[in-house]
């Protein structure tokens, strides 16, 4: 244990493989443990993708430990379903609770030597910057989504409006404060080029690490969790299959519109996924 390097991951929507949600942080942690790290994951008590609360037993946070050098800290936050005020308050409470209790947490767990802040929402990287400045440690920002670009694309916020300009400045500042940046998709650095930010943000600190495939879990599911569907199993059909989230930003309805215009017999559009806010 003493030889383990301590690394923290801040990811408000992180869940393990036993719960519905984003498992990347836990999968990442398992790989890091194999490279000599002890990992602590900070997430919200509110499970965003299953709309449930993890019991923190009346405290501001609850520490869940396991035997493979990974701890999960559930920070008490209110429910944040939907895309309105509740979700904003959930983000704010996560940030405040992290900052107010961070000293108690590193007293128990030990100070980290590096922090990774993922960006499922806007205030997660701000918590990473707070920790970086408090403990003088390197910060790695993991860019899941380009905030506020997502808001611009779905029409929620005007890019040329005051709020849009403020959020873009905030985003640029986050990247400038980061010692390294992880992108999940190839060529995501072209976004920095499009924004004319390369003078302040060096490409040499940008890295690409995709979600990858958990072959162990994949092989287990093939043997134990077969999914049967009469359309998928019909060899006479030409199948167009979409798997993934079903949200406005994914615009799955475009596939439906295209399917209506395909004048080919025996073609079936199959959508496998769940609605996510």
Sign of the dihedral defined by the CA atoms of residues 47, 11, 243, 171, in that order: positive
149, 42 Cβ separation under 8 angstroms: no
Residue range(s) of every CATH 3.40.50.2000 domain in the chain: 5-208
Q: Which run of H or E residues covers position 61?
A: strand 61-65
pLDDT for the residue numbered 1: 44
Q: What is the pLDDT of residue 41?
A: 96
Return the pLDDT at 247. Answer: 73
- The answer to whether the pTM exceeds 0.95 is no
Q: Can you give the pLDDT at residue 276?
A: 59
- Tell me the DSSP string of 190-253: HHHHHTT-TTTS-GGGEEE------HHHHHHHHHH-----TTTT-TTSEEEEEEEEE-GGGTTH
Q: What is the pLDDT of residues 92-145, one digit of tens each?
A: 999 999 999 999 998 888 899 999 999 988 899 999 999 999 999 999 999 988
CA 222 to chain centre: 26
Joined tokens for residue 207: 């890295």
* 3-class secondary structure, 71: strand
Residue 183: which residues within 8 A CB-CB, separation 6 or more? 143, 189, 206, 207, 208, 209
Sign of CA dihedral 5, 22, 255, 148: negative
Q: Which CATH superfamily is domain 5-208 in?
A: Glycogen Phosphorylase B; (3.40.50.2000)
pLDDT, position 67: 65
Written as tens digits, the pLDDT of the chain (277 aa) is 455 799 999 999 998 877 777 889 999 999 999 999 999 999 999 998 888 899 999 999 999 887 678 999 999 999 988 778 898 999 999 999 999 999 999 888 889 999 999 998 889 999 999 999 999 999 999 998 888 888 888 788 999 999 999 999 999 999 999 999 999 998 999 999 999 999 999 999 999 999 888 888 889 988 898 888 888 888 888 888 888 778 776 778 888 888 888 777 888 888 887 765 5
The HSE-up count of residue 268 (CA atoms within 13 Å, CB side) is 15
């Amino acid at each position: 244990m003493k030889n383990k390097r301590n690394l923290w991951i801040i990811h408000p929507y992180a869940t393990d493989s036993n719960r519905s949600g984003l498992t990347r942080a836990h999968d990442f942690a398992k790989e890091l443990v194999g490279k000599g790290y002890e990992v602590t994951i900070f997430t919200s008590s509110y499970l965003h993708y299953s709309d449930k609360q993890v019991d923190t037993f009346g405290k501001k946070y609850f520490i869940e430990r396991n035997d493979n050098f990974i701890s999960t800290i559930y920070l008490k936050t209110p429910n944040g379903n939907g895309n309105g005020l509740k979700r904003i308050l959930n983000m704010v409470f996560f940030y405040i609770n992290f900052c107010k209790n961070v000293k108690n947490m590193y007293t128990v767990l030990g100070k980290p030597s590096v922090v990774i802040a993922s960006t499922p929402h806007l205030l997660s990287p701000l918590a990473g910057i707070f920790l970086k400045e408090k403990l003088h440690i390197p910060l790695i920002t993991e860019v899941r989504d380009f905030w506020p670009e997502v808001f611009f694309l779905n029409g929620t916020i005007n890019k040329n409006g005051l709020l849009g300009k403020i959020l873009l400045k905030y985003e640029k500042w986050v990247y400038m404060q980061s010692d390294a940046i992880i992108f999940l998709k190839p060529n995501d650095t072209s976004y920095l080029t499009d924004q004319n930010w390369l003078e302040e943000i060096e490409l040499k600190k940008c890295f690409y690490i995709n979600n990858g495939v958990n072959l162990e879990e994949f092989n287990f599911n093939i043997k134990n969790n077969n999914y049967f569907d009469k359309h998928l199993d019909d060899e006479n059909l030409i199948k167009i299959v979409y798997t993934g989230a079903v949200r406005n930003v994914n615009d799955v309805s475009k596939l439906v519109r295209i399917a209506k215009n395909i004048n080919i017999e025996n073609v079936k559009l199959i959508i496998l996924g769940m609605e996510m806010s």
